Structure formats: C-alpha cells, structure tokens
Amino acid sequence: QDLMTLHSYSPLDGLYNHYPHSLRNIDELCASVVRSHRETSQYRLEELQALRWKVFSREEIQAYQSKTVDEMWQHCAVRLTDAVQYVVEFAKHIPGFRMLSQNDQIALLKTGSMEVVLVRMCRFFNTENNTVFFDGKFAGTEVFKSLACGDLIAAVFDFAHGMCALKLTEQQLALFSALVLINADRPSLEDRVRVQRVHRSVEVGLTHILHRDNHDSLLHKLYQKMAVLRSLCSLHMEKLRWFSQRYPLTAHSLFPPLYKELFA
Ligand code: CLR
C-alpha cells in the first residue's frame, strides 16, 4: 500500500533535468536530499548520542536468545520493515525519483532500500562497544543469536563499524544514501537512461559536497562500500530464502506485507 503512493508528481521534479549541473541546481538538489534525509531519519544524532550507553541487561539478552528462530525472524522483519518505510519516504523526495515510472521506482527500492537501511545503521551504531540501537536499547551481536545467521550479523556489524570509521557528516550521509538508491544497474529497470541521469545528478551533488568539505578522497572509499553493500544484501536474500524454506508459514503469513513485497 505504501508503494502505491509513490507516483505523485511535484512540479519541481523537472527542473533538474533541464540544467542538471548548474551550481544553483546542485545546491538545490543537495538541500532537498539533506532535508529529506533529516525528515526521515527517525532519531536525531543528539538523541542517539544521549542513549549511547543504554544497553540491554543480561536478562533481556537471555530473553532474546530464548526466542525461537521464527519468533526472532518475525520480530526483526518488523523492525527492518519499519526502517524501510522511512527509506521509501526518503526516496520520494530525492529530486527526479518521482519522475521515474512506478515500475522503476519499485525496482530501485526492491534492491536499494535494504542497502540504504544498512548505510543508515552507522548513525545507530556505537563503535566503542559494537552495539546497534534496536528495540529502544543498544544490542550486541549476541542479541541476534536465535536468528541462526551469525555470519550475516557479523558482516552487518563489520560494515557498520567501517562506515562509522569514515565519520561522514549528515549531509554526506544523505547524498551517499541517495546515490546508493538511484542505481542504474538494478535488475528489471525500464528506463535505465533516465535512472542514469538522476544518478549522475546525485553523484555531482555528492562530489560537490565532498569537495567543499575538503574530503574528495572519501568518494573512492564510498564506492568500495557500495560493493560491500551488494554482497551484504545478497547474503540477506540468501538467508531469507533459507528461512522461508524452513518456516514457510511464518514467512508467508506473519512477515509484514512490505517486507514480502520488497524482498520475496
Ligand atoms: C538501521 C537504521 C534504521 C533504524 C534501524 C532499524 C532496525 C535495525 C537497523 C537500524 C539495523 C539492522 C538491524 C535492524 C533490526 C534487525 C537488524 C539491527 C538500526 C539486524 C541486523 C538483524 C537482521 C535480521 C534479518 C536477517 C531478518 O534507520
């Protein structure tokens, strides 16, 4: 139901295609992407900073660990879907996104929304004790033990650690998230040329911001992260297929509709 509202147009969308790379348009594009990121980021950095040391107690961890595999999967699928909803909202306000066909918007979200959630995870990650904000407190990998996919969890935590090390500003993170989402190589796109054009404009925006921040060297590192993201997401899909085979009923009737629509 959430994907259906994606096709409403804004009169501003066309602007960027006429003079895609004028300085004024680059600034406007960056401002829109940053505003959209801010409005869909769930928590402000200061709020997360204040919660940094609120970790789960031993009893709470044990409660998560004694959940069954399918209970814990369902629980995490709900949390992930919640995060994905915000990414869908974020996407809608990337200049040019709503000009794409509904098919292409969905194709980009299908493969990109999980990647953006993982990019956003670094805001919710405490590198000092390797924990992520989950269910209101900070959780280490042991909290996710009953999912029975330790390799995926370890790889996801590793990625968050590496993203944190780049120390991106909120603006850089916003532009990078948009770049990850608008990817012309995704499968089943109808109009790759148009997606490529939007991708280029976001790329120009990110380059501009990095240059202004005196951080041009980050671009190369960010492209490396994009490769890691692709492998993480195929690992997620592999685990999901494994899970759906073993617990077809949970996967079919208890997973959130949006999770199924995007990943199944
Ligand atoms: C990412 C940034 C979002 C808020 C958010 C919500 C849910 C979190 C997610 C963040 C990070 C990854 C996360 C997820 C819930 C479960 C998932 C902790 C912080 C872990 C890695 C388990 C994945 C399990 C699947 C295989 C089902 O704005």
**What is the 197 CA–ligand 1 centroid distance (Å)?**
31
Which tokens belong to 235?
Answer: 């690992």
pLDDT in tens, 43-56: 999 999 999 999 99
Beta bridge partners of 133: 138
Contacts of 180 (CB under 8 A, 6+ apart): 112, 115, 116, 119, 226, 229
Measured distance CA(57)–CA(143) in Å, rounded? 11
Local confidence band at 4 (pLDDT 50, 70, 90 cut-offs)? very low
Buried b (16+ CB within 10 A) or exposed e, 165-196: eeebeebbbbbbbbbbbbbbebeebeeeebbe
The closest alpha carbon to 243, from 146, 158, 157, 155, belongs to 146
**What is the 98 CA–ligand 1 centroid distance (Å)?**
26
Amino acid found at 3: L
Among 39, 84, 132, name the best residue to mutate to test ligand 1's pocket (greatest count of ligand atoms within 8 A of Cβ). Answer: 132
**What is the 123 CA–ligand 1 centroid distance (Å)?**
12
Segment 249-261 shows an average pLDDT of: 86
pLDDT at 21: 65
Among 41, 74, 89, 124, name the best residue to mutate to test ligand 1's pocket (greatest count of ligand atoms within 8 A of Cβ). Answer: 124
Measured distance CA(91)–CA(252) in Å, rounded? 27
pLDDT at 5: 44
- Interface confidence, given as ipTM, is 0.98
